[in-house]
Amino acid sequence: MAAMWRVLGAGATTIATVASALALQVPAAGAQPAQPQPSPPGLGPAGTATVHGDAASTDTMPGRGPGVNPAIVSGLTGATCSTVFIGSDDMPVALCTSYIGMNPPTPAAPTVKLFHPDTAEVLAEVQLAKGALLGGVYGYLDDRDRVVVADGNRRLLAVGHERTPEGPWRMTVEVLADLSAAVPEGDAITGLMPAFDGRVWFATSGGVVGTVRTAGGGGGENFDDDDNDHTPRFLTLPAGEKISNGFTVRPGGASVITTRALYEIDTAADGTPTIRWRHGYDVGPGRKPGLLAYGSGTTPTYFGPGNGLIAITDDTEHPDLIVLRQSDGTEVCRMPAFATTLRPDSAAADGVLISGPAASENSILAHPASGDADTTALVLVNTYGFEYPPFAVDGPAVPAGAPYIGGMTRVDVSLDGAGAGADAACSRKWTNTSRTASLPKLTTGDRQIHAMAYGPAAGQSALGSLPEPLPGQEILDHGLAQKVGPVFVTSTDVETGHEVMRTFVGHAPLDEPMELTGTLASRGDAPGVLWQPTMTRMLRIGPA
């Protein structure tokens, strides 16, 4: 098995034209330098310390992508790693879940794994107490290169790494807080983020949102070690509303989306959360195939002047993109989230349509538009029809299944120059049909979007020199938790929506991307290194 993985990794080939190669190396004309998002004290390096890139959940990071002809090195993980972080020491560390039994796959206890920065070999790992699936997904890296994560015993942990006197690496575990007073038995912590006041935000799948001052650090530089009150402060959202996505933080508060509404939450002086406003959204008849729960699949994204705007999608039959003011929850613009054959009136000038229904389980990527300080580009990815493992979803899908068509789209949000309190206009700039299968990340140095992707679906035209879909592909693409066929790493120009790089990395189901979250280690003006997990491997994609 290990030999086969080496063959798959060593056989990488790049499909790109000379023009694409040149395009990847040159930023778009007129591009404006992106202003870095404010970062809470205690958070690790910009771009690589959170699931969604930064505290505002923009899924952007500094530096450049892996280049047009990246080398691929891989290591077997013995698990599926949901999220990768990179600290100030350049050591990749991941939150992973191993499996016992395969019919159906059953999640075992989560682990934190440390990887060699050159070979992707697992150097050390530690197993945590078993909890809910998302307890091993959402966490962050603090400014001491420790993974802050919750375990199944409702404790907040800081998992670090260090060399032993003999030379090998080992993991360290420190308990930062006991959250059992706020988290009911049977509930699970699904969201974590440092607060701007030195505390730590947490959220649970059952609808508890709170903050805690941690013991021994883990929050920020404002932590007062003489303050021995580590009691969590929390509120419980209305019954029946679950939290299945991450949340987004700002100075003084956070934005939390449940399966029925978006909440803007402030904090009192002692850290107690208080609801400033609630914005309910419409839902369809049940959980869509390609979403994890019955409700919106988007983590809220802050953007615009002073992060004064918030972007989400609703959960109607044909979901809308909704942009609201952070100050009061009023809508500033709304439009169909995707241009589809069912909503052809929403097509961009390119006329490209996604075939059939569309919806998104991914957060919305946000980055200032090129050459226009008053416009932000939002990028949404269609996950409708993507089949997650049975243990990961909340209830049956309606309909029970659908082909995974994919597709990505850019919507520009333009203000009138008066700031986040001004009126805004939403307009679609492009749509493509790339079958993205991981959480995309945008690098600001080259304005490229990087992700894993499948080949074309049945009925789609092959992209460039890619092979046509396999015979019977419509069966393979419908109703299987893991696809069958080639898997690629791709880079897409955010200005045009066109792929500028597509490199073969392996075959699903063994290299199924599973909508997992990678990260990208910046090397300044040189190509960076993309760290991307698949179902069985950790991939190091970039210059040697």
Condensed to tens digits (0 to 9), the pLDDT of residues 87-143 reads 999 999 999 987 664 555 556 778 999 999 999 999 999 988 876 544 445 799 999
Per-residue pLDDT reduced to its tens digit, 36-77: 688 999 999 999 999 999 999 999 999 999 999 999 999 999
Confidence check: pLDDT of 28 > 90:
no
pLDDT at 360: 97
Map tokens 């705007």 to a residue: 309
pLDDT at 266: 98
Task: Please tell me the distance from the alpha carbon of residue 287 to that of residue 476, in angstroms, as a whole number.
Answer: 22
Domain-located, residue 61: yes
Q: Which domain holds residue 122?
A: 2-31+41-542
Per-residue pLDDT reduced to its tens digit, 172-207: 999 999 999 999 988 888 899 999 999 999 999 999
- Count the helices and strands in the chain (H runs, E runs): 3, 33
pLDDT at 517: 94
pLDDT at 2: 27
CB atoms within 10 A of CB 235: 15
What are the strands, taking DSSP E only, across 42-182?
Answer: 60-61, 71-76, 80-86, 92-102, 105-115, 122-127, 140-141, 147-150, 155-163, 169-178
Task: Please tell me the distance from the alpha carbon of residue 397 to that of residue 386, in angstroms, as a whole number.
Answer: 11
Domain-located, residue 36: no
Domain-located, residue 170: yes
Domain-located, residue 74: yes
pLDDT at 37: 80
Domain-located, residue 454: yes
The residues, ordered by sequence, that sit 6+ positions from 226 with a Cβ below 8 Å of its Cβ are: none
Task: Please tell me the distance from the alpha carbon of residue 296 to that of residue 287, in angstroms, as a whole number.
Answer: 9
Structural domain tally of the chain? 1
Q: What is the pTM of this model?
A: 0.88
Residue whose C-alpha is closest to residue 66's, from 499, 531, 535, 423: 531
Using the CB atoms, write b or e for 63-78: b if 16+ within 10 Å. bbbbbbebbbbbbebe
Q: Can you give the CATH number for the domain in which 329 is found?
A: 2.130.10.10
Domain-located, residue 103: yes
Confidence check: pLDDT of 309 > 90:
yes
Domain-located, residue 51: yes
